[in-house]
């Protein structure tokens, strides 16, 4: 990323997201910042100014994904993707194509599902050997709890049929290893990512994000390495920013796991919002409960479709409280992963009492996901200025399970974005990539319609307007990184981060959003993505 001289961007219409001047035609940019917005072309000396014309296009602020995993998404992109593979023959064909273009000494693939295979059986090492027998191949099932590896990998990782792994299984049939590894047996072939690889993942991820019109991410990445290497990973981000290698602005939602580790990083200089415009330290992220799909999100009552399940907390309540208190003492916000209503209530109560003990005017604490809710919880969150980082695209799948999991009456007040806004809860939209594809236009579509293209819908009276959805992906998302006064709108003294689109997003039918892609994306006035014209 290099900062350049003065530029004038001309467009059919520039949507600023400011009520004082909602639209204009010209935007003047200097050193990455917007210095003027006009309806008439300003008179200027041509020699020191570049004019870029998008006269039949529209301009909007670019997107800010308020919760994702940048490194994990990059890793996902760089591996062989096997989702929607229809047969073992197709799996082999895809593996074959991939190995021919990939020079890595290890092949990793993801997301196959034998239920979708014509053959309705698990793949074996012999299937993989037919395609690749000169380096290890590891292909994970969609759930990530099972993998198939080739014979080279079995030998390479010294896996034999007599090996016993606690909490894991190595499949053997008729005295022969099949190549299937389950649960903890996967630890035999897993390796923690090297910083060189992570650098590649970040570069890959940001390229795809820019193509989607995303220029800011709030991302939880420390989970990719062991505690001992947290500082090394933070240093890598700092270095990439200093070397102008970043084209997305990164706000790190740091998961430090233990109070000791968190305190160690505070002592090393972890001050929230310190950094530069491309990499800043963010809030303390805490993973409090599990997921709705697996019935591990902790509910106040038992699961509607399983009276024996109530979900669970990942850490003890005491551990979570200690971590939170450490954050509050050090003026660091908290972003707490909470999906079940028990967990969300617990987090809200804790934030309320800690905020009394450690009052701070500009605290921006949030619940990440914030799915199973009732009116009382929403009212409390609104009253106590606790925000929600939500993923509207989750509705696509979750609308098929929520009523079963929690029953009709609780389902109605869950994912209830309109009510949340009415209670005064600030919303930041995001994708949780690589859990979901980070395409923000899909999230906009689901927030506005709450309807799947196949007709299934979910409490459509909780739909938000296009403008409300766009704010949650731009200026309101920037609120959580304390940057909404200079990011997320196209105003004077704001960052020149924007997208160029063929369609006027505000005018098209919501369904059309699913097919929108920016024709160009700018970060700090520099074009970082441009659509290839066929």
Using the rule CB under 5 A, is 65 a contact of Zn ion?
no
Residue 437 Cβ, how far from Zn ion at the closest point, in Å? 14
Stretch that binds Zn ion, among 111-119, 397-405, 427-435, 514-522 (CB under 5 A): 427-435
333 and 269 Cβ atoms separated by less than 8 Å: no
Using the rule CB under 5 A, is 432 a contact of Zn ion?
yes
Residue 34 or 193 with smaller CB distance to Zn ion: 193
Cβ-proximal residues to 15 (8 Å cutoff; 6+ apart), any chain: 22, 23, 58, 59, 60, 61, 490, 505, 506
157 and 170 Cβ atoms separated by less than 8 Å: no
Stretch that binds Zn ion, among 93-101, 428-436, 437-445, 474-482 (CB under 5 A): 428-436
Stretch that binds Zn ion, among 13-21, 55-63, 248-256, 426-434 (CB under 5 A): 426-434
Residue 341 or 432 with smaller CB distance to Zn ion: 432
Residue nearest to Zn ion (CB): 432
- CA–CA separation, 100 vs 116, rounded Å? 25
Stretch that binds Zn ion, among 108-116, 129-137, 383-391, 429-437 (CB under 5 A): 429-437
- Furthest CA-CA distance within the chain: 83
Helix axes 341-357, 375-383, angle to 10 degrees: 20
Residue 70 Cβ, how far from Zn ion at the closest point, in Å? 11
Residue 211 Cβ, how far from Zn ion at the closest point, in Å? 22
For strand 334-338 and strand 366-369, is the pairing parallel, antiparallel, or unpaired? parallel
If one counts every other C-beta atom within 10 angstroms of the C-beta of residue 201, the result is 22
Residue 226 Cβ, how far from Zn ion at the closest point, in Å? 19
Residue 287 or 527 with smaller CB distance to Zn ion: 287
Residue 127 or 432 with smaller CB distance to Zn ion: 432
- Total residues in contact with Zn ion, by rule CB under 5 A: 1
Q: What are the residues facing 390 on neighbouring strands?
A: 429
| Contact flags string 213-232 toward Zn ion, x per CB under 5 A | --------------------
Residue 433 or 490 with smaller CB distance to Zn ion: 433
373 and 414 Cβ atoms separated by less than 8 Å: yes
Residue 336 Cβ, how far from Zn ion at the closest point, in Å? 12
76: closest CA among 528, 436, 443, 442?
436
Residue 291 Cβ, how far from Zn ion at the closest point, in Å? 10
- CA–CA separation, 191 vs 182, rounded Å? 16
For strand 49-61 and strand 33-38, is the pairing parallel, antiparallel, or unpaired? unpaired
- CA–CA separation, 201 vs 191, rounded Å? 15
Tokens 């273009």 correspond to 101
Residue 67 Cβ, how far from Zn ion at the closest point, in Å? 6
465: DSSP letter: P
Residue 171 or 396 with smaller CB distance to Zn ion: 396
The residues that touch Zn ion, with contacts defined as CB under 5 A, are 432
């Amino acid at each position: 990323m290099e900062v350049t001289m003065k530029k004038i961007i001309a467009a059919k219409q520039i949507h600023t997201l400011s009520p004082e001047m909602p639209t204009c035609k010209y935007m003047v940019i200097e050193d990455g910042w917007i210095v003027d917005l006009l309806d008439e072309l300003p008179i200027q000396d041509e020699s020191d100014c570049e004019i870029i014309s998008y006269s039949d296009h529209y301009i909007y602020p670019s997107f800010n994904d308020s919760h994702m995993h940048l490194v994990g998404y990059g890793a996902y992109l760089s591996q062989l993707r096997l989702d929607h593979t229809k047969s073992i023959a197709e799996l082999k064909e895809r593996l074959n194509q991939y190995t021919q273009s990939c020079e890595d000494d290890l092949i990793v693939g993801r997301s196959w599902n034998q239920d979708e295979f014509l053959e309705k059986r698990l793949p074996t090492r012999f299937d993989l050997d037919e395609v690749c027998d000169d380096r290890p191949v590891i292909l994970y099932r969609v759930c990530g709890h099972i993998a198939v590896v080739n014979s080279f990998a079995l030998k390479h990782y010294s896996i034999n049929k007599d090996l016993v792994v606690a909490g894991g299984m190595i499949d053997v049939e008729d005295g022969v290893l099949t190549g299937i590894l389950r649960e903890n047996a996967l630890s035999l072939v897993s390796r923690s990512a090297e910083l060189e690889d992570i650098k590649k993942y970040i570069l890959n991820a940001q390229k795809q994000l820019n193509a989607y019109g995303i220029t800011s991410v709030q991302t939880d990445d420390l989970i990719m390495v062991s505690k001992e290497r947290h500082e090394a990973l933070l240093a890598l981000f700092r270095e990439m920013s200093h070397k102008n290698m970043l084209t997305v602005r990164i706000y790190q939602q740091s998961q430090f796991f233990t109070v000791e580790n968190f305190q160690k990083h505070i002592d090393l200089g972890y001050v929230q919002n310190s950094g530069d415009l491309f990499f800043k330290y963010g809030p303390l992220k805490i993973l409090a409960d599990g997921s709705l799909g697996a019935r591990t999100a902790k509910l106040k009552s038992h699961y509607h479709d399983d009276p024996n399940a109530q979900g669970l907390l990942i850490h003890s309540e005491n551990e979570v409280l200690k971590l939170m208190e450490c954050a509050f003492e050090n003026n660091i916000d908290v972003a707490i992963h909470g999906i079940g209503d028990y967990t969300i209530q617990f987090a809200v109560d804790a934030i309320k009492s800690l905020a009394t003990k450690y009052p701070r005017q500009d605290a921006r604490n949030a619940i990440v996901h914030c799915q199973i809710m009732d009116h009382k919880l929403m009212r409390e969150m609104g009253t106590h200025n606790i925000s929600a980082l939500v993923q509207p695209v989750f509705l696509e799948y979750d609308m098929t399970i929520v009523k079963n999991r929690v029953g009709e009456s609780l389902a109605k007040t869950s994912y209830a974005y309109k009510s949340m806004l009415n209670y005064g809860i600030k919303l930041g939209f995001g994708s949780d990539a690589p859990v979901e594809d980070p395409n923000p236009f899909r999230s906009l579509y689901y927030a506005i319609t709450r309807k799947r293209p196949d007709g299934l819908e979910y409490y459509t009276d909780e739909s938000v307007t296009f403008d409300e959805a766009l704010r949650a992906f731009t200026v309101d998302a920037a609120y959580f990184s304390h940057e909404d006064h200079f990011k997320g709108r196209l105003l004077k003294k704001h960052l020149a981060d924007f997208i160029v689109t063929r369609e006027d997003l505000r005018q098209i039918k919501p369904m059309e959003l699913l097919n929108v892609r920016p024709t160009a994306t700018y970060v700090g006035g520099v074009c970082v993505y441009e659509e290839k014209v066929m």
